[in-house]
């Protein structure tokens, strides 16, 4: 009898604890160790029905790791934000589907001949396309260059403003206080840390101002001057711009907790490759990316004249992917990642401060991030979406709206188990430190102990915490709820141990009206009750913690200079344009396919 009573008391105690914890989560902050899970009481403002989700699968039935069809971009509805988020989800599921059902190969769809690798730029700044082949490893590189509209490296200053970096030439001249060009020689630093620019005669140049050559938004360009290994940055008015610690530039290399570098692969699909080649030959209209059935048909007709096989998914239209990967070796929970075989560079690390590329090896890589970019009906500026593995990086605090229409706050993620942050309990700002920089075929290591990764995703779901994110969502919580809601819907309907359950849509952005991006982020491009054509909307301040690691905006981006979107770099805000070579950083550099290129599927 005594044992029975004890058991009853124990069970009752457990029930009380569970109810207490459950009520606490519903009424207040989510527990900080809930980073593995999304809020389940979120207001379901963006969902996909069970019947529609089934229609995404080639078999018409949801199957574990089953083949998903690409979204039909020609018939894209574009009625509301959710249409863009559903397009993003379906495209990601398609790209990471097994390459069966006519894709000619093992592995995933993105490894199939539907896609081409885009090489890094050569010495002439040209890139080549290499079609993926069945059972052949894809090549990856160890960094991704974050470039602005002038194709220059990016700098984020201490106030969160974005600049491009223009390197000073060997014989650089600056303007003095009389606006006269003076030959610059060197810089002196006094005991107080103040810098003086010295001319070739040893005299101090008063109020030096750089000569900015860049044509696109020169006021957002700084010129870099070197003092040994240190850099000094002057804006167009001669003011010194202070960068965040370790973030003077954007050619950073990133390392995971498993001691693997992050490797990157840029790809385009067959429609994109055919379109680019036709534009270069003057056979296709290159004013904008294809968005209509007639534009699609023109590309197919052109490909036929070349003897190229018709794309199996022409309604996907033009797609450009940027993907990030780590080695599977020593990776916790490796079975939760999409993997591929790839060729990666190897490094001679005998000098701990300078790693020199010495060869290559074939290995298995695990997917940690993906930018999915594609043209759709009514939006030639393309939809820009991004995904991450749920174990990548902790989020900063964010808000969402629950089913009772209350706004709830989620505190910043802490705890362990993150691939790119080994001390997530540190939420004080000592984060996103760039300790490794790629220069040519070497990696410069600023900290020879290779600081353990400290990456955070500053804007959890792509919007700032203090602004109206778009015309449909009047608070950040409403926008965040849409993204959380569609993630919950998709993850719940994937069955079994589908590996794609472990990836999250962070957000997607596009422009109002499908107009040429003007570089502005809503609502800073106009009045609060009017969205100018060309403003970035949706989750307009989107970043991926594996690809924009060191160039993330502050979470309270509250001015037009700190509100940074995909289109801050992929646009010409001086003269907005929909031309592909303006929107895409690789389109104008890619060498077209040759007439002898044969595509077999």
Task: Kindly state whether residues 309 and 453 are assigned to the same domain.
Answer: yes
Last residue in a domain, options 234, 267, 296: 234
- HEC-encoded secondary structure of 378-447: CEEEEEEEEEEECCCCCECCEEEEECCCCEEEECCCCCCCECCECCCCCCCCCCCCCCEEEECCEEEECC
Q: What pLDDT sits at residue 587?
A: 95
What are the helix (H) ranges across 198-347?
Answer: 270-280, 293-306
β strands within 178-318, DSSP E: 181-189, 195-199, 209-210, 221-227, 230-234, 263-269
Residue with tokens 């801050």: 568
In total, how many domains does the chain have?
Answer: 2
Task: Kindly state whether residues 140 and 285 are assigned to the same domain.
Answer: yes
Task: Kindly state whether residues 121 and 268 are assigned to the same domain.
Answer: yes
Among 447, 357, 378, 300, smallest CA distance to 77 is for 378
Which residues in the chain come in under a pLDDT of 70? 1-36, 101-102, 104-105, 144-146, 158-160, 229, 243-250, 427-430, 448-452, 525-531, 557-562, 595-601
Examine residue 594 and state whether it is found in any structural domain, yes or no: no
Q: What percent of the chain has pLDDT over 70?
A: 86
Q: CA 18, CA 383: separation in Å to the nearest integer?
A: 43
Examine residue 398 and state whether it is found in any structural domain, yes or no: yes
Regarding beta strands 138-139 and 339-351, do their DSSP bridges make them parallel or antiparallel, or are they unpaired? parallel
Q: What percent of the chain has pLDDT over 90?
A: 50
Regarding beta strands 230-234 and 129-131, do their DSSP bridges make them parallel or antiparallel, or are they unpaired? unpaired
Task: Kindly state whether residues 413 and 540 are assigned to the same domain.
Answer: yes
Last residue in a domain, options 202, 234, 266: 234
Examine residue 71 and state whether it is found in any structural domain, yes or no: no
Task: Kindly state whether residues 230 and 377 are assigned to the same domain.
Answer: no
Q: CA 589, CA 567: separation in Å to the nearest integer?
A: 19
Distance of CA 69 to the CA centre of its chain: 23
Task: Pull the structure tokens for residue 343.
Answer: 């060729």
Task: Kindly state whether residues 345 and 486 are assigned to the same domain.
Answer: yes
Q: What pLDDT sits at residue 112?
A: 93
Task: Kindly state whether residues 451 and 475 are assigned to the same domain.
Answer: yes
Q: CA 293, CA 408: separation in Å to the nearest integer?
A: 44
Task: Kindly state whether residues 170 and 285 are assigned to the same domain.
Answer: no
Q: CA 154, CA 217: separation in Å to the nearest integer?
A: 13
Last residue in a domain, options 182, 203, 234: 234
Task: Kindly state whether residues 462 and 356 are assigned to the same domain.
Answer: yes
Task: Kindly state whether residues 281 and 203 are assigned to the same domain.
Answer: no
Task: Kindly state whether residues 110 and 142 are assigned to the same domain.
Answer: yes
Q: In terms of residue numbers, what domain contains 462?
A: 91-146+252-589
Instruction: Determine the length of the chain.
Output: 601
Q: CA 312, CA 247: separation in Å to the nearest integer?
A: 43
pLDDT tens, 248-305? 445 778 889 999 999 999 999 999 999 999 999 999 999 999 999 999 999 999 999 9
DSSP codes of every residue in 21-82: HHHHHHHSPPPTTGGGS--TTB---S---HHHHHHHBTTSS--TTPPBPPP-STT---SSHH
Examine residue 326 and state whether it is found in any structural domain, yes or no: yes
Examine residue 599 and state whether it is found in any structural domain, yes or no: no
pLDDT tens, 439-463? 778 888 877 656 668 899 989 999 9
The percent of the chain in helix, strand and coil, each rounded to the nearest 5, is 20, 25, 50
């Amino acid at each position: 009898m005594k044992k029975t009573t004890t058991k009853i008391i124990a069970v009752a105690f457990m029930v009380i604890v569970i109810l207490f914890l459950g009520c606490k989560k519903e009424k207040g902050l989510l527990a900080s160790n809930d980073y593995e899970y999304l809020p389940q009481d979120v207001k379901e403002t963006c969902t996909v029905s069970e019947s529609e989700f089934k229609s995404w699968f080639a078999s018409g039935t949801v199957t574990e790791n089953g083949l998903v069809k690409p979204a039909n971009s020609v018939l894209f509805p574009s009625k509301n934000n959710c249409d863009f988020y559903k397009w993003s989800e379906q495209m990601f599921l398609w790209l990471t589907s097994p390459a069966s059902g006519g894709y000619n190969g093992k592995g995933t769809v993105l490894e199939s001949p539907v896609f081409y690798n885009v090489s890094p730029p050569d010495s002439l700044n040209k890139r080549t396309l290499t079609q993926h082949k069945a059972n052949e490893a894809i090549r990856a590189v160890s960094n991704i260059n974050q470039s602005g509209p002038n194709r220059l490296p990016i700098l984020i200053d201490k106030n969160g403003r974005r600049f491009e970096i223009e390197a000073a030439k060997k014989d650089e001249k600056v303007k003095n206080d009389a606006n006269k060009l003076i030959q610059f020689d060197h810089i002196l630093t006094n005991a107080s840390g103040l810098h003086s620019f010295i001319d070739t005669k040893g005299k101090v140049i008063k109020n030096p101002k750089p000569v900015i050559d860049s044509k696109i938004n020169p006021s957002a360009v700084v010129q870099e001057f070197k003092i040994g290994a240190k850099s000094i940055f002057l804006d167009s008015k001669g003011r010194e711009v202070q960068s965040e610690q370790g973030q003077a530039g954007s050619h950073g290399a990133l390392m995971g907790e498993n001691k693997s570098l992050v490797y990157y692969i840029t790809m385009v699909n067959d429609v994109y490759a055919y379109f680019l080649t036709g534009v270069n030959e003057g056979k296709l209209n290159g004013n904008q990316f294809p968005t209509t059935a007639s534009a699609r048909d023109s590309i197919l007709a052109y490909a036929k004249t070349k003897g190229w096989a018709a794309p199996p998914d022409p309604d996907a239209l033009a797609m450009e992917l940027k993907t990030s990967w780590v080695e599977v070796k020593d990776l916790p929970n490796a079975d939760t990642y999409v993997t591929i075989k790839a060729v990666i560079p190897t490094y001679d690390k005998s000098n701990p401060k300078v790693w020199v590329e010495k060869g290559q090896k074939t290995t298995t890589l695990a997917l940690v991030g993906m930018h999915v970019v594609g043209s759709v009906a009514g939006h030639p500026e393309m939809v820009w979406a991004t995904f991450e593995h749920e174990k990548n990086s902790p989020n900063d605090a964010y808000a969402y709206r629950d089913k009772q229409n209350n706004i709830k706050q989620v505190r910043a993620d802490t705890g362990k188990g993150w691939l790119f942050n080994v001390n997530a309990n540190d939420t004080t700002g000592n984060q996103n430190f760039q300790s490794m920089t790629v220069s040519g075929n070497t990696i410069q290591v600023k900290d020879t102990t290779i600081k353990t990764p400290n990456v955070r995703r500053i804007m959890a779901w792509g919007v700032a915490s203090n602004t109206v994110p778009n015309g449909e969502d009047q608070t950040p919580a409403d926008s965040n709820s849409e993204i959380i809601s569609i993630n919950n819907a998709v993850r719940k309907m994937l069955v079994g141990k589908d590996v794609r359950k472990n990836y999250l849509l962070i957000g997607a952005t596009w422009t109002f009206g499908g107009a040429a991006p003007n570089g502005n982020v809503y609502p800073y491009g106009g009045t609060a009750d009017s969205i100018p054509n060309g403003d970035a909307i949706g989750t307009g301040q989107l970043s991926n913690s594996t690809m924009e690691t060191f160039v993330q905006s502050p979470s309270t981006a509250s001015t037009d200079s700190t509100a940074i979107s995909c289109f801050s770099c992929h646009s010409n805000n001086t003269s907005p344009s929909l031309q592909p070579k303006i929107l895409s950083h690789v389109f104008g550099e890619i060498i077209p396919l040759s007439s002898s290129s044969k595509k077999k599927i």
